[in-house]
């Protein structure tokens, strides 16, 4: 057990980006006049990117101050604001290009974001790990951008975009076309990041389209995991690391069990109709669960006691806690309470791994640099172990899924779900 009094907390899921007009200076100069025309008529569609609330995305001092107040000493930074020439956040989905020129404009916009992000991370060196953005329509250009971004200090890895219908891209991640992407990330030690929503295509702008986009997010996450494992990507690239972030944890054991069962049945059943499956699993040297153990991780945003209870089925060293700052549903400014609620009674060594140890190893954080900061601001080990009295939680916690099932101010069950989960884990 560590002699430190507080935990080192690294959020594996935070978001940020430049203000819309700030991106101009990071664009290739040949696009700046076109950007001026585009920006003059563009209306930001998200209220939380406007006004004082929006500054959390790019105000470096404010981020450091608010994260420290919340007990967090370092963060993995996913995108949030609108890059040049995009209609909406690139994290949600990347629509098919209207033309080659449209694709090239948006590619220039993502490069501008990467250049801004490299500078932003450098402003708090050692405390931010930026996730770079790419487009897939020119895979060799994507590889060059990944090499540039890695040299510029972006160690958070690559955000995996989708291959939307009509894009002309192979919709199957195990297609040979994508092998240069997997190879360069494995070579440079950069994880592939699958963030909730980033690979799911949007079918339109009707209210129903938005509803089904949200409902289908987890299906697309499972789709990606199946492609990478059963399609042989993790077999061909054993050094590649993959992270599934802000997607929950409960689906993982059932998916691994289903794929393990599929592979076992394909191997033992020699019937003709299963011959294609036998060919697929015959190229795999491990079971799907073993590939997960070797190469996959989960960014556990809003981790709930019910998820803590199944941590052994996922792998304690595969789970990385996240706050989702600065989103409305984030655990901020109640992250210390969320951590105590989720991890009450869990052995300290396991809590250390989930709160910071695994993220430090995967995303390149220096724990020796972070520990002195954590000793000022991190959650106290004793308080985490003791848990929280749900009757004393502030009313504001209801915004965050980490507190699902809690009615602040009522004396219900005092983290009974957590105790029950610990007994059953």
Q: What is the CATH number of the domain that holds 320?
A: 3.20.20.140
* Predicted confidence (pLDDT) at residue 299 exceeds the cutoff of 90: yes
Mean pLDDT, residues 79-102 = 82
Per the domain annotation, does 423 fall within a domain?
Answer: no
Q: Which residue has the higher pLDDT, 92 or 334?
A: 334
* Predicted confidence (pLDDT) at residue 288 exceeds the cutoff of 80: yes
* Predicted confidence (pLDDT) at residue 408 exceeds the cutoff of 70: no
Per the domain annotation, does 417 fall within a domain?
Answer: no
Look up the domain containing 191 and give its range: 10-389
Q: What is the mean pLDDT of the chain?
A: 90
3-class DSSP state of 197: coil
399 close to 385: Cβ distance less than 8 angstroms: no
Peptide bond into 36 cis (omega under 30): no
Q: How far is it, in rounded angstroms, from Cα 191 to Cα 206? A: 34
* Predicted confidence (pLDDT) at residue 176 exceeds the cutoff of 70: yes
Mean pLDDT, residues 129-137 = 95
Tokens for 407, please give them: 């009615």
* Predicted confidence (pLDDT) at residue 30 exceeds the cutoff of 70: yes
* Predicted confidence (pLDDT) at residue 413 exceeds the cutoff of 70: no
Per the domain annotation, does 419 fall within a domain?
Answer: no
Per-residue confidence (pLDDT) for residue 196, from 0 to 100: 73
Q: Rg of the chain over CA atoms, in angstroms? A: 22
Q: Which residue has the higher pLDDT, 280 or 39?
A: 39
* Predicted confidence (pLDDT) at residue 321 exceeds the cutoff of 80: yes
Per-residue confidence (pLDDT) for residue 371, from 0 to 100: 97
Count each helix (H run) and each strand (E run) in the chain, helices first. Answer: 20, 9
Per-residue confidence (pLDDT) for residue 270, from 0 to 100: 59
Per the domain annotation, does 409 fall within a domain?
Answer: no
Total number of domains constituting the chain: 1
Per the domain annotation, does 121 fall within a domain?
Answer: yes
Per the domain annotation, does 145 fall within a domain?
Answer: yes
Of 70-79, 154-163, 213-222, 396-405, give the range with the top mean pLDDT: 70-79
Per-residue confidence (pLDDT) for residue 197, from 0 to 100: 60
Q: Which residue has the higher pLDDT, 345 or 91?
A: 345
Percent of the chain with pLDDT over 70: 87
Q: Which residue has the higher pLDDT, 104 or 99?
A: 104
Per the domain annotation, does 332 fall within a domain?
Answer: yes
Per the domain annotation, does 408 fall within a domain?
Answer: no
* Predicted confidence (pLDDT) at residue 424 exceeds the cutoff of 50: no
The number of angstroms, rounded, from the C-alpha of 354 to the middle of its chain's C-alpha atoms is 14
Mean pLDDT, residues 289-314 = 97
Mean pLDDT, residues 275-302 = 92
Of the given ranges (104-118, 181-195, 222-236, 262-276), which has the lowest mean pLDDT? 262-276
Report H helices in 70-138: 100-122
């Amino acid at each position: 057990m560590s002699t430190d009094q507080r935990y080192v907390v690294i959020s594996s899921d935070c978001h940020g980006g430049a203000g819309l007009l700030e991106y101009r200076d990071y664009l290739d100069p040949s696009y700046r006049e076109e950007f001026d025309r585009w920006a003059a008529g563009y209306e930001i569609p998200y209220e939380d990117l406007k006004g004082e609330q929006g500054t959390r995305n790019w105000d470096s001092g404010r981020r450091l101050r608010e994260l420290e107040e919340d007990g967090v000493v370092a963060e993995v930074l996913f995108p949030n604001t609108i890059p040049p020439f995009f209609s909406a956040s690139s994290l949600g989905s990347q629509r098919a290009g209207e033309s080659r020129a449209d694709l090239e404009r948006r590619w220039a916009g993502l490069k501008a974001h990467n250049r801004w992000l490299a500078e932003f991370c450098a402003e708090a060196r050692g405390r931010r790990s930026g996730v770079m953005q790419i487009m897939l329509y020119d895979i060799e250009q994507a590889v060059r951008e990944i090499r540039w971004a890695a040299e510029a200090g972006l160690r958070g890895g690559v955000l995996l975009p989708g291959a939307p219908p009509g894009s002309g891209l192979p919709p199957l991640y195990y297609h040979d076309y994508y092998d240069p992407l997997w190879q360069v990330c494995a070579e440079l030690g950069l994880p592939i990041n699958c963030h909730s929503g980033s690979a799911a295509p949007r079918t339109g702008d009707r209210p129903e389209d938005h509803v089904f986009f949200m409902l289908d997010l987890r299906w697309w996450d499972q789709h990606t995991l199946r492609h990478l494992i059963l399609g042989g990507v993790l077999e061909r690239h054993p050094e590649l690391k993959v992270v599934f972030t802000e997607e929950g944890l409960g689906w993982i054991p059932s998916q691994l069990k289903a794929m393990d069962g599929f592979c076992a049945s394909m191997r033992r059943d020699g019937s003709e109709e299963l011959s294609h499956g036998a060919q697929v699993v015959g190229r795999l040297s491990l079971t799907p669960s073993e590939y997960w153990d070797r190469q996959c991780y989960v960014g556990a945003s809003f981790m709930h006691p019910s998820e803590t209870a199944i941590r052994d089925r996922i792998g304690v060293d595969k789970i990385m806690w996240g706050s989702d700052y600065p989103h409305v549903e984030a655990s901020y400014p109640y992250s210390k309470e969320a951590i105590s609620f989720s991890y009450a009674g869990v052995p300290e060594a396991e809590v250390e791994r989930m709160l910071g140890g695994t993220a430090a190893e995967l995303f390149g954080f220096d724990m020796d640099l972070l520990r002195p900061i954590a000793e000022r601001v991190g959650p106290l080990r004793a308080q985490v172990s003791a848990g929280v009295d749900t009757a004393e939680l502030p009313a504001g916690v209801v915004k965050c899924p980490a507190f699902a099932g809690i009615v602040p101010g009522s004396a219900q069950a005092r983290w009974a779900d957590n105790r029950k989960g610990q007994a059953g884990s």
